[in-house]
Structures are given as structure tokens and as C-alpha cells.
Amino acid sequence: MTLLSNGRIYLDWNATSLICNPARTAFLDLINEVGNPSSIHLEGRKARIIVESSRDQILELLGFADGKLVFTSGATEAAALILHNTNFSCSPIEHECVKKWCNISIPVNGAGQVDERESTKLDVLQIANSETGVLQNLPKSLYCTDAVQAIGKVNCDFQELAPKTVIMSSHKIGGPKGVGAAFLGDEVKIAPLIKGGMQEMGYRAGTENFILIAAFSEAIKYSKKLLSEGIWEKVKELRNYLETEIQSVAKDTNVAGIESNRLPNTSCIVTPGWSGENQVIELDLMGFSVSSGSACTSGKISASDTLLAMGIDETTAKNGLRISLGPNTKKSEIESFISAWKSLYIKHKRNYLR
């Protein structure tokens, strides 16, 4: 269940997921191993085997035929490694770790999708948006795609799409924080961002954390299993139930990107006159963990770039609330959330109409 040990209900999976049992087991089984993967003695060789077997497993699980997988500290570093020394273009709906390196010039339509007429020009395009869950139609052979929110939740046919580079993260798919990866196609030539030793084929200096890497690999394997078993289809049913119940009471509440294909677990509801930040605070006090946007932009009291790009006015774009479910979210938890949100909505409307 997503009922936490302190009795709270966790509905912020797009910010970070709960660690899955296979990843936890891998982590705990290796926590006392002492080897440095760059050492040639027995302990070092054992650590190196773990790194390389994890690398091979991830490449195979995700269908990468030709190329290299470079382990990083997370998606932000993976994005920086891929994008730091060239001028790329992207849309305003990309994650902050991508936008920091790019020329933000690609338009987005009201459904939250990059216009297909523009997509052939794209250098960087996410598969799924973290705030709305909107899925993009990726052109083949794209230079870079951010797959952080998509891996394990929807089918990502990287062999068919053949992106030259891919950004990945562990803690979004049931793995530990502090590890991610950048896939680099064989033809990609980039300079290292972190310089020093020759770890990670010279692309990323620093001792590899083989414990986190092994747990990351197991999380990907587990997430693929959930996908094949249809777990996310059941999550989608819960997400749709949540949206239907909310809109049955709150007629003025809209669901951003509802007309598009979306991640099965993500709902971004927008209620005029009711700040997303205030909703997060009030729900937090009632024992629910949700967010008002991407975790990396929390703390800034400003309109969502994603909602603004979709043509929503600045005042309304501050009113988004993101609810993101996990593979073990229960209907009873969603019912509890709906009840709490409805009570707050009625209170809000009473105050709003004064």
C-alpha cells in the first residue's frame, strides 16, 4: 500500500517513488561489500562485475542495441553530461535540468503536446511530462529524450525510436535516489562533465556506487514486470475514477491534458481561484502527500511553465495540483483523498464566493 508507516497516504510518485522490494533487497545484500570497482583485487573485481552486469541488464531490458550506458548520480547529471557542450533546442514543458542547457524555442499546443510540424526540428523532447503526464509522439532518431517519467509506466521501444541519447533516473521507478544513467549511441561524441579518472569509459570520473547501481538495475527489471502484468492499467482506472469524482462536484475544475494520451498514474487538476500551493499545504495537514508541480520547481511561487505553455493564463496556471499514483495505490486511499479534497473544495468555494 501507499499508506506510509506514519499513517499518511502518499500520492506524489512522480516526485519520487517508494523503493520496491527487489531494489531494497539488492541494496541491503551489498551494503557491506567493500570493493572499489577500479581495484584489481578480489573485492574490486566483485564490485566491477556488479557494475558491468547491471549495465548489461539495463541495456537489454530497455532494448538498446548499440551504444553505451554511463552511470551518473541521477537524471540531472545525465542531462548535463549529454547537453552541456552544445546548443540544443527544447520546449518549455521540459524538466528544469534540460531547460538549463537549451534554447527554449519549440511551441506546445493546448493539449500539452509539441506540434508534429515542429517535432522534426527538436533536439530534446521528453516522453512524458511530470506535471500533466502528457505523452509525446517522439520522432525517430531524436538526439535526446528524457525518459525519466516514462520508463516502467508505458512501453518505451527504444530500439524502434532509436534516440541518440536518453536520460534516466532510478528513484522514479522504485529504485534508490542518487543514481541514474545516460544512454549514448555509438555515434555520439561528447566531452566528460566530471573529469578525473577513467571510470565509466572516461565519460564520468569518480568511483561507481555499485550498490546503488545494482538496486537501480533491479528496479528497472521490476518495473518492466509490473508493466507486462498490466498493473498500470489498473492504476489508470483509479486515476480516471479520481478525476471523475472530483469533476462531479467541482464543475469548474479542469484536468490539464485530459484530451491527450497520458501516463496512467498522473492527474493535474486546475481549480480557478484556488492556489495549488495552498491545496498542497491543506492536504498535507490532512495526511496526504501531493504536489503543485515538478518537485524540482517546488518552493518557487510562480505559474507552472508547463501550464503556461499550454495556453493557460498566468493566474490560473498557479492553481495546478498534481496527484500521481503508484503501482500499489489502493482504491480506499483514493476514496480518502477524494473525500478530503471535496471537503476543502467546498470550504474554498464558500470563501471564494464571499
Mean pLDDT of the chain: 94
pLDDT at 197: 95
Cα–Cα separations (whole angstroms), residue 323 to 27, 133, 280? 29, 10, 10
Element (H, E) at 268: strand 266-270
Which mean pLDDT values do the consecutive 10-residue runs of the chain (354 residues) have? 79 98 98 96 98 98 94 98 92 96 95 82 93 95 96 94 96 98 96 96 97 98 97 98 96 96 98 95 98 63 91 96 98 98 91 60
pLDDT at 297: 52
Please list the helix, strand and coil fractions of the chain in percent, rounded to the nearest 5, in that order: 40, 15, 45
Give the span between the Cα atoms of 30 and 210, in whole angstroms: 8
> Which residues, including other chains, have CB under 8 Å from residue 32's CB and lie 6 or more apart?
none
Cα–Cα separations (whole angstroms), residue 41 to 46, 126, 209? 9, 42, 17
pLDDT at 151: 97
Question: Which domains can be identified in the chain, with CATH numbers?
Answer: 9-18+230-352 (3.90.1150.10), 21-228 (3.40.640.10)
pLDDT at 233: 98
Cα–Cα separations (whole angstroms), residue 155 to 85, 152, 333? 31, 7, 27
Catalytic residue list contains 296: yes
Calculated CA dihedral for residues 121, 127, 128, 129, nearest 10 degrees = -30
Joined together, the cell numbers standing for residue 132 give: 500533466
pLDDT at 350: 78
Q: How many CB atoms lie within 10 A of CB 307?
A: 26
Q: Given the C-alpha cell 462531479, which residue does it identify?
A: 248
Joined together, the cell numbers standing for residue 215 give: 538496486
Burial class of 242 by CB neighbour count within 10 A (0 to 12, 13 to 18, 19+): buried
Distance of CA 131 to the CA centre of its chain: 9
pTM across the whole model: 0.94
| Cβ–Cβ < 8 Å for 158, 137 | no
Joined together, the cell numbers standing for residue 331 give: 482504491
pLDDT at 6: 81
Q: How many CB atoms lie within 10 A of CB 259?
A: 12
